[in-house]
């Protein structure tokens, strides 16, 4: 099959997922995406889906508004699983802590209690990034009564998870950089706002979807991608791109005909955007023997929009020469990053002692389209067919090599993790 026809197939799947909308867990869009994956995955892998029903703490945003001191209402976006404000809203001063570093929180510790903390969203795919959930917890621990995070893209709000699982929390919302600029401290004092958020919480269920393509042994390579997203846009980069490439990889490997030594398990997780919950529950449910049978997790999350690709190897140093060698043979530039980053489903595998990496585009590039992830600009037009084809080719080569890697190489991967 020609590269152009393969790229068209990958883009077709991408568009089908984007047609489902943002795919926030618990919405009709997420259900539509699951139905598409079950059908497309069965056709790609040649096996029926294995569906794991996942119980989780459901949450639904009902309304959100931020009122400036003059009474003007400006848009805001409730962070996933935020608590609601009191009836009538939360009236308080806003303290701007910039990036939200530990030093900034410490320097203003006496001024934080009783105020709403404002911080900035950062490029998530970069060394040293501070995740919003860390900033949220810092604000909470310091006595803040609310949390605002300013997005990176002019004209757009920003989405994301608060990281709250259950119980207590503080109201949290994303705002635009234009709104954040209006909330700077003035000589006369801190600006005052009224934050109003309404939500609903209830028991909920979603689906993790698997396709097992058996090998000659009882070992597996897990190729994963999450299919849920956020409601501001189409969640195209994050992560319709990864799902489309995982499906294409299965097609190509199945077309090869000959069974590999290890089986390939396609894993499509939901509630990833809710603190990686879907994959966390899956990994937690594996017994010791099942974990030992997984030689490698290849996690595809946010690719196809930039010419650069990076493998986040989660401390498993022996993965680096394996991955770089394949990329060199394919004449594809690949960077590896060793420190553990808990920013996608690979993290749950890695933390459980299973060699795992995330393939991501635009790493450590403030000008890459990745800066628009979680904003209104995460749309299908950000994806480039040539970049999608390149990522699909690299993933296919990596997975094919892992399926037939010698046992001693797989053992080296597992034993090489640096703490």
Q: What percent of the chain has pLDDT over 70?
A: 98
Q: Which of 148, 183, 200 is the last residue of a domain?
A: 200
Say if residue 340 is in the same domain as residue 239: yes
Q: What is the pLDDT of residues 359-387, one digit of tens each?
A: 999 999 999 999 999 999 999 999 999 99
Cβ burial, residue 15 (10 Å; 0-12/13-18/19+): middle
- Give the pLDDT confidence of 96-124 residue by residue, as tens digits: 999 999 999 999 999 999 999 999 999 98
Q: List 117's β-bridge partners, or say none.
A: 95, 147
Are 169 and 211 members of one domain?
no
Q: Kindly state whether residues 156 and 169 are assigned to the same domain.
A: yes
Residues 186 and 118 in one domain: yes
- Predicted confidence band at 4 (pLDDT cuts at 50, 70, 90)? low
Question: Angle, to 10 degrees, between the axis of helix 241-255 and the axis of helix 385-403?
Answer: 50
Residue 195 shares a structural domain with residue 138: yes
**Residues 14 and 83 grouped into a single domain:** no
The confidence score (pLDDT) of residue 418 equals 76
Note down the domain range covering 85. 59-200
What is residue 167's predicted lDDT score, i.e. its pLDDT? 81
Torsion sign over Cα 323, 324, 326, 332: positive
DSSP letters, 152-192, are: SSTT-----B----SS----EEEE-HHHHHTTS-BTTB--E
Report the DSSP pairing between strands 90-96 and 116-120. Answer: parallel
Contact predicate 92/115, CB 8 Å: yes
State CA 247 to chain mean position distance.
18
β-partners of residue 358 are: 299, 312
Alpha-carbon torsion, ordered 264, 237, 368, 159, to 10 deg:
-120
Domain co-membership, 66 together with 190:
yes
Kindly state whether residues 275 and 218 are assigned to the same domain.
Answer: yes
Per-residue pLDDT, averaged over 135-153, amounts to: 98
**Percent of residues in the chain assigned helix, strand, coil, to nearest 5:** 35, 25, 40
Domain boundary residue among 200, 221, 241? Answer: 200
Which residues have C-beta within 8 Å of that of residue 105, sequence separation ≥ 6? Answer: 97, 112, 138, 139, 142
Q: Is 238 helix (H, G, I), strand (E, B) or coil?
A: helix
Tell me how crowded residue 393 is: count the other CB atoms within 10 A of its CB.
Answer: 18
User: 361: Cβ–Cβ under 8 A, 6 or more apart, which residues?
Assistant: 125, 237, 302, 303, 304, 305, 306, 308, 309, 310, 368, 370, 387, 391
- The CATH number of the domain where 172 resides is what? 3.50.30.30
Domain boundary residue, one of 200, 235, 267: 200
Same domain, 234 and 301: yes
Q: For residue 52, is pLDDT > 90?
A: yes
C-alpha–C-alpha distance, residues 284 and 380, integer Å: 34
- The CATH number assigned to the domain holding 25 equals 3.40.630.10
> Taking a C-beta distance cutoff of 8 angstroms, is the pair 277, 271 a contact?
yes
Q: Are residues 304 and 384 in the same domain?
A: yes
Q: Are strands 50-67 and 73-74 parallel, antiparallel or unpaired?
A: antiparallel
Residue 1 in this model has a pLDDT that exceeds 60:
no
If asked whether residues 17 and 31 sit together in one domain, one would say yes
Least confident of 244-248, 347-351, 367-371: 367-371
Number of structural domains (the chain) is: 2
pLDDT tens digits, residue range 162-221?
989 878 899 999 999 999 999 999 999 999 999 999 999 999 999 999 999 999 999 999
Q: Please indicate, yes or no, whether residues 36 and 63 belong to a single structural domain of this protein.
A: no
């Amino acid at each position: 099959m020609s590269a152009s026809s393969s790229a068209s197939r990958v883009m077709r799947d991408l568009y089908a997922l984007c047609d489902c909308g943002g795919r926030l867990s618990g919405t009709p869009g997420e259900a539509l995406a699951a139905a598409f994956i079950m059908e497309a995955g069965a056709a790609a892998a040649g096996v029926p889906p294995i569906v794991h029903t996942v119980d989780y703490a459901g949450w639904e945003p009902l309304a959100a508004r931020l009122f400036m001191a003059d009474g003007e209402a400006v848009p805001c976006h409730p962070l996933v699983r935020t608590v609601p404000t009191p009836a009538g809203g939360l009236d308080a001063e806003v303290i701007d802590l910039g990036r939200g570093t530990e030093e900034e929180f410490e320097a203003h510790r006496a001024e934080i209690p009783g105020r709403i903390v404002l911080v900035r969203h950062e490029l998530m795919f970069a060394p040293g990034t501070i995740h919003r959930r860390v900033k949220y917890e810092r604000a909470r621990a310091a006595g803040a009564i609310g949390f605002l995070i300013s997005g990176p893209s002019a004209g757009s709000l920003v989405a994301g998870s608060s990281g709250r699982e259950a119980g207590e929390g503080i109201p949290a919302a994303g705002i635009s950089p234009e709104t954040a600029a209006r909330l700077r401290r003035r000589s006369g004092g801190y600006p005052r706002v009224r934050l109003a958020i309404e939500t609903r919480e209830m028991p909920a269920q979603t689906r993790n979807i698997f396709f097992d393509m058996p090998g000659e042994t009882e070992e597996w390579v897990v190729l994963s991608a999450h299919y849920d997203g956020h409601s501001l846009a189409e969640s195209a980069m994050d992560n319709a791109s990864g799902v489309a490439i995982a499906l294409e990889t299965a097609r190509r490997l199945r077309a090869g005909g000959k069974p590999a030594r290890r089986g390939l398990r396609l894993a499509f997780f939901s509630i990833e955007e809710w603190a990686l919950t879907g994959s966390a529950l899956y990994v937690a449910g594996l017994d010791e023997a099942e974990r030992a049978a997984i030689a490698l997790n290849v996690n595809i999350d946010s690719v196809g929009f930039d010419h650069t690709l990076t493998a986040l190897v989660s401390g498993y140093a022996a993965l680096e020469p394996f991955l770089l060698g394949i990329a060199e043979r394919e004449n594809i530039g690949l960077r590896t990053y060793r420190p553990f980053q808990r920013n996608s489903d690979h993290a749950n595998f890695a933390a459980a002692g299973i060699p795992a990496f995330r393939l991501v585009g635009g790493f450590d590039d403030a000008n890459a389209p990745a800066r628009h992830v979680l904003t209104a600009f995460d749309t299908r037009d950000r994806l480039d067919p040539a970049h999608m084809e390149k990522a699909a080719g690299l993933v296919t080569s990596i997975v094919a090599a892992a399926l037939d890697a010698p046992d001693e190489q797989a053992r080296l991967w597992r034993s090489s993790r640096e703490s």
